[in-house]
Amino acid sequence: MDLVFTAPIKLEALLARELKALGAASVRELQGAVAASGSLELAYRACLWSRVASRVLVPVARYRAADAEAIYEGARQVPWVEHLSADSTLALEVDGSTATNVDNTRFAMLRVKDAIVDVLRERTGRRPTIDAQDAELRVHVYLRGDEVQLGIDLAGRGLHRRGYREPTAAPLKENVAAALLLLAEWPARAAEGGWLVDPMTGSGTLVIEGALMACDVAPGLLSQPRGLLAWRGHDDALWRRLQAEARARDARERLRGEGRGRPWRVTGLDRDPAALRAARRAVERAGLQQLVHLERRSVDEPAAWPAAEASGRATLLVCNPPYGERLGEAAALKGLYLAFSHLLRQRFAGATAWVLSSDAELTRCLGLKATRSQPVSNGGLACRWLCYPVAAAAAAPATPSAASSPVAPTAAVAPSGGPTLLRLAHSAEAEAFANRLRKNARHRRRWAQRTGVQCYRVYDADIPEYAAAIDVYEHWVHLQEYAPPPAVSAERAEERLHDMALLTAEVLEVGAQDLFVKVRQRQRGGAQYARLARGGAFQVVREGGHRFWVNLSDRLDTGLFLDQRQVRALIAQESAGKRVLNAFCYTAATTVYAAKGGATESVSVDLSATYLDWARRNFVLNGVDERRHRLERGDCREWLEHDRQRYDLIYLDPPTFSRSKRMAGDFDVQRDHPRLIAAARARLAPGGVLIFATNFRRFRLDPEAVAGAQCRDLSAATLPPDFARSPRLRQVWRIEPRG
């Protein structure tokens, strides 16, 4: 008989190999499926033993249909009474694309359903009940152009549903997990006494599938395929015989009795207690108690982990870490991948690591060279299953310099020609970076404690080869690497970023979850702040006795510019009893200072709805009354020219360059500042003061813009000590019209 076995996309070849081992003939790989010839016993063995298949289909019809009526008529020709009882519950599923004269695939499926119901009603006087969620029998409809294929689904709900797992976020289907382990050749390693480790096990799917393989458990024993039991072609005696054979091979009970004497080990680790609790429940439902070891560990604490070399076993490390689309965004995950890289070389030298990821930028953070790469579709997301042989550690000479170095080498590079870890030992340049960062951190911490500053810059491209800005936001660390010049190769830039992130986490003593790594461009004409992701991960930090929301992961900017700390304090001092205007207000941190400094009322204007929402959250956080301190959306240039209110204090901090659909043209601070300052001066009350600031390093103030006013340069006076390396970073003027 002809049979069709569906499979996850890109894993058809693996399923074909499985089916050949089960005795299939005429095996043909299709897209998302494998066709084969064989007996009913082959279909049943696949339901029991296939670890990769999603469904086992018995084809009952194949015909051409140009429209919905032809689909219905073709389905009526099938002798449905030979396949299901009118008393059964029925569901249909559809795949593919419709012919041009059919509205959609769902409508085509409904016409097949109508045909089945009509045939059974005509032949028996009864009709089956439709139950989309929990049907006893499912009919699969496949459409390709005007071709229609109908099949009985022996699996029922799907063979990947083994029955041991709870619904979780970012799931990895059981059959996909099994396929990954087969690609990593875990069954052969288990037979040789290997050790399977998942360092970010989540709900435990990979380690459970690995233990089931090692115990020779047929997946179909865990959750019996339901479709074949309701199918009228079912051979119950054959099914029971094959089940008995599978139970006889099941080694769970025997291996449980062997305890530590069993030849292989399976270990799952995770930092999340809730995930581990779910994994333990899944292990119990799979009958793998005492066969899968689960522990709470964090990848950024390698010293607490078991070592591969100490186990005395060939170690296979498998991992499905977050990769942007799943639990978070890529910018916030680089620290995690860098910590994972550190863990690999510290505790798993000599192991083989397989990592599933959809983000090449994140996997480059591992500093490893992949020797194999298999495309995999995980939940519709295009991923790669990457093999990284981790070079075995070599003993470093016990020289005084190595012993006293703040970053002692941990391993050596493998011999030429073999798999290499691109960065195993820190270079002299990296040690210089670590020394400078450690010195800066020691000095900055003392200064911050003395002055009550919680958020500050600790490193500002002090060493040109390591061009980055590193900021401390209370107990979070924000590392922004400047885009390297064209002369620096991408590989070298990745090595330096890898070193910087690892050493920053080590020197500043932060975990991977608290380190945020980004790459930023130096601002040029046309550059604006870009959104990196949509994670929405906000933290609250303190400054000057106030609290502010920051977002360290989703954008190049964080919501609180630390170089403006002194200006905000100046505004607070100037605001008592005054009406204040904050133009280009951003997240309105300066307005919070003004309001808490005693401003009687204020208006904050910005073109961005995102930043105004952020500002509103800052107001709520600090108890700022929005009835007296208004937030207005608009183009600040037009707003200043049309506003008729007068203000005692105006803070004007425009971007270097801006362009928006909501603006009439673009804005260039060098070109447009005279007109902008003139409009702001026109809004000043008698005796009023304008504070003008810009971050454009090459900015030159036009003397005509401040004619008839007392103008004082406050740039040096408002430069925070932690930004002293960049005296031209920010220019600030106090402008007070005479008379």
Averaged pLDDT for residues 456-478: 94
Three-state SS for 379-417 is CCEEEEEEEEECCCCCCCCCCHHHHHCCCCCCCCCCCCC
**Positive/negative CA dihedral, 98, 100, 106, 110:** negative
The pLDDT tens digits of the residues spanning 255-305 come to 887 766 678 999 999 999 999 999 999 999 999 999 999 999 988 788 888
pLDDT confidence tier of residue 527, bands split at 50, 70 and 90: very low
Q: Give the residue from 502, 466, 521 showing the smallest Cα distance to 334.
A: 502
What's the CA gap between 276 and 269, in Å, rounded?
8
pTM above 0.85, yes or no: no
The pLDDT tens digits of the residues spanning 153-206 come to 998 888 999 989 887 655 789 999 999 999 999 999 999 999 999 999 999 999
Q: Looking at 6-10, 137-141, 297-301, which range is the least confident one?
A: 297-301
Give 710's contacts (C-beta < 8 A, 6+ positions apart).
735, 736, 737, 738
Averaged pLDDT for residues 224-240: 90
Contact 547, 622 (CB under 8 A): yes
H runs (alpha helix) in 664-723:
669-681
Percent of the chain predicted with pLDDT > 70: 89
What's the CA gap between 67 and 46, in Å, rounded?
35
Give 610's contacts (C-beta < 8 A, 6+ positions apart).
none
Region of 287 please: left (phi>0), alpha (psi -120 to 50) or beta: left
Contact 552, 479 (CB under 8 A): no
- Say which residue the tokens 């019996």 belong to: 224
Give the chain's domains with CATH numbers. Answer: 2-153 (3.30.2130.30), 174-216+251-389 (3.40.50.150), 428-520 (3.30.750.80), 539-737 (3.40.50.150)
What's the CA gap between 349 and 388, in Å, rounded?
11
Whether 628 shows a pLDDT value over 60: the answer reads: yes
DSSP 87: T
The CA R_g of the chain, rounded to the nearest whole Å, is 33
What's the CA gap between 268 and 609, in Å, rounded?
45
Structure-token pair, residue 689: 């003061």
Region of 672 please: left (phi>0), alpha (psi -120 to 50) or beta: alpha
pLDDT confidence tier of residue 101, bands split at 50, 70 and 90: low
pLDDT confidence tier of residue 360, bands split at 50, 70 and 90: confident
What's the CA gap between 611 and 551, in Å, rounded?
12
Contact 128, 86 (CB under 8 A): yes
**Amino acid (one-letter) located at 715:** S
Q: How far are the Cα atoms of 381, 471, 533, 692 from residue 561, in angstroms, in the given order?
A: 36, 10, 19, 16
pLDDT confidence tier of residue 669, bands split at 50, 70 and 90: very high
Contact 316, 189 (CB under 8 A): yes
CA angle, 643 as apex, 675 and 602 as ends, to 5°? 105
Q: Looking at 258-262, 356-360, 640-644, 654-658, which range is the least confident one?
A: 258-262
What's the CA gap between 307 and 346, in Å, rounded?
8
Q: Looking at 353-357, 512-516, 591-595, which range is the least confident one?
A: 512-516
pLDDT confidence tier of residue 78, bands split at 50, 70 and 90: very high
The pLDDT tens digits of the residues spanning 487-496 come to 888 778 888 8
Cross-strand pairs, 35:
4, 28
Q: How far are the Cα atoms of 99, 108, 113 from residue 104, in angstroms, in the given order?
A: 9, 7, 15
The strand order across the sheet containing 601-606 reads 629-633, 601-606, 579-583, 647-652, 684-694, 731-737, 709-713
Instruction: Name the more confident of 423 and 497.
Output: 497
What's the CA gap between 333 and 517, in Å, rounded?
8
pLDDT value at residue 65: 92
CA angle, 575 as apex, 572 and 579 as ends, to 5°? 140
Beta strands 33-37; 25-30: pairing state? antiparallel
The pLDDT tens digits of the residues spanning 44-62 come to 999 999 999 999 999 999 9
What's the CA gap between 85 and 612, in Å, rounded?
63
Whether 127 shows a pLDDT value over 90: the answer reads: yes
Helix (H, G, I), strand (E, B) or coil at 454: coil
Structure-token pair, residue 222: 């865990």
pLDDT value at residue 56: 96
pLDDT value at residue 450: 96
pLDDT value at residue 524: 43
Phi then psi for residue 418, to 5 deg, are: -95, 175
- Max mean pLDDT among 71-85, 384-398, 653-667 falls in 71-85
What's the CA gap between 461 and 231, in Å, rounded?
70
Whether 415 shows a pLDDT value over 70: the answer reads: no
What's the CA gap between 553 and 537, in Å, rounded?
7
CA dihedral 331, 336, 341, 346 (to 10 degrees): 150
pLDDT value at residue 426: 57
Contact 574, 722 (CB under 8 A): no
Average pLDDT, the chain: 87
Q: Looking at 2-11, 217-226, 586-595, which range is the least confident one?
A: 217-226
Helix (H, G, I), strand (E, B) or coil at 648: strand
**Amino acid (one-letter) located at 505:** A
Region of 322 please: left (phi>0), alpha (psi -120 to 50) or beta: beta
What's the CA gap between 146 and 151, in Å, rounded?
17
Per-residue buried b or exposed e for 711-733, using 16+ beta carbons within 10 Å of the residue's own CB: beebeeebbbebbeeeeeebbbb
